[in-house]
Structure 1
Amino acid sequence: MTVRPPVTQRRAGWLPAVLPAARRLAVASCVGAVLGLLVGGVGGRLFMGLLADLNREDHGVITSDGFPMGEVTLSGTLNLFLIGTVLGVLGAGIHVGLRGLTLGPPWFRWLSTVVGGTVMVGATMVHEDGPDFTLLEPTWAAIGLSLAVPCLFLMVMAPLVDGATREGSWLMCSPAAWVGLAPWVFPLFFLVPVFALGWWLTRRAAAHPDARRVGAWAARGALVAVFIGGAIELGTEIAAIYETIGRGRYLLD
C-alpha cells in the first residue's frame, strides 16, 4: 500500500517548480509591456498619423474601431497605448509558452516566431469590412503598415525575452520584475487557467518521454494548422479588399 504524503507536503513540492515558471512569465511580461507600448502604442500612433496625412480628404470618417480618422485625442492615444501594452504582455507570454516547440537553428526559430505571429495577428487586423483598408490610399501602405506593427514587435521581442528570461539575468534576479504579473491579474486573468493547464501538462509529460514527444509533435501540428488557416484568412481578406476597391465601394462615399 502506497502512503501519500500530506497535502501540505505535496503543495510544498509544487512550489519550487511554480515559482521559476511564474518568474519567467513575469520577466517576459515586463519586456513585452515595454515593447508593446513603444511598438504597438507609439509606433501604431505614428503609422496612423502617416496614413492620415496621406488621406487628408478622409479626415473625420469613422473607422471600424469607432474612431474618427485624422483626429488625435488624449483619450484615444491613451487607449491605444494601453491596448499596445496589454497585447505586448500577451505576446511575450505566448512566446514563453510556445518557444519550446520551435525547431531548427536559432535563426529559423526566430523567423518562425516572426512570420507565424505576424500572419496570425494580421489575420485578425486586416479586414474588408469598413473603410480602414478600402478607403485609405495607397492600399498597400495601409495593409503593410498594419502588418509592420506586429512584425517589428516580434522581431525585437523574441530575442529580448529569451535573453531576459535566462537564469542569472538582471531581470530574473530583480524582485521588481514580479510587477510583470499584474496584467495577468487584470485584464488577462481569463487566460491564466489556459497557461496554467499548459504548464501542468508539460510538467506531467516530462516524466514520460514518449508521451512528451508525441504531445510536442501534436502541438506543433496544431500550430502549423492554425498558421495555415491564418495565412488563408489573411490572403482572402487582402484579395477581398482589392476586389471591393475595384468595385468602387467606399471610394464613392
Structure 2
Amino acid sequence: MQPLLFTVALFAYLVVASARLPGLWSPPSWLGSVGRVALWVGAVAHIVGIGLLAMHQGGPPVLAAGGTLVTLAAFLGAANVLMQRQPYGEALSGVLGALSAAMLGLGMLLPQGSERAPEALASLWFPIHAAMILLGLLGFALAFGVSALYLVVSGRLKAKRLGDLGRLPSIDALDALNTRFIVLGFLALTFGIAAGGLWATSIPDRAPRLGPTVYVTVVLWGWYAAAVMVRVVGGWRGRLAAHFSLVGFLGLLVSLGSIVAISRGWH
C-alpha cells in the first residue's frame, strides 16, 4: 500500500512543480487551483504512507536512507501546504514541490528499512533524536528552496526581466525567510545531536562509537553555526547568503549519499 501512496504523492508534487515553478512556462490561471488540490492530495497520501511504513517497521522509518528521504520529503510536503497560504507563496510552493518530488523519488529507489526496528530504538531518546534531526534537515531544505527562488528573483531583477515579478516574493522577504529557516534548522540540529549522544549512552552493553555520520553531522553543524553567526550577528545578506545555503544543503546530500554508498546505513 505504501508504494501506491508514495507514487500518488510523487505525481502530485510533480503537478505542483509544473503548475507553479517560476520560469518553467506560463500556465493558465485555472492551473493554480489544480496545483492547490494536487498539493493537498500529495501531502495527505504521503503522510498516510509514512504512517503505514512506521507501523510496518515498528518505529520511525529513518534507519535507512530511503526511509529517511521519504520521511523528510513528507515533512517538506506538509510545510509546503502551510507555505502556500503565505503572500506570494505559490512560486515558493513550486520550488518546494520540485524538491519534495526529487527527494521522494530517490527515497523510493533506495532501501527503506528493515522489517522490524532494533530493540536499541526503544530508548526514549531515539524518537527525540530522530525528530530533531529531521526538523533540522527540514529547516535546511526550506532554506535551500528559498535561496534557489531568491537567486531566480535576483537574476530577473538584474536582467531587468520585470514581466511577472508581481507573482514572485520580494528578495527582502526571501532573505528574511532564509535566515529564519537556517536558525530553525541549526537549533533543531543542535538539540538532535545532544539527544543522539544521550541515546547512544543509554544503550546497554554497547559503547558509544563515532562513525562517518557523526563526523558529517558535526561538520554540518559547524557550517550552519557559521551561517547563523555571519547572518544574525554580522548582518550578512543577499546572494552570498543564498549561495551559502545552497552549498550547505548540496554538501549535506553528497556527504550522506557517500555514507550510504559505503556503509549502507547511518550508524
TM-score class, shorter-chain normalisation, is under 0.3
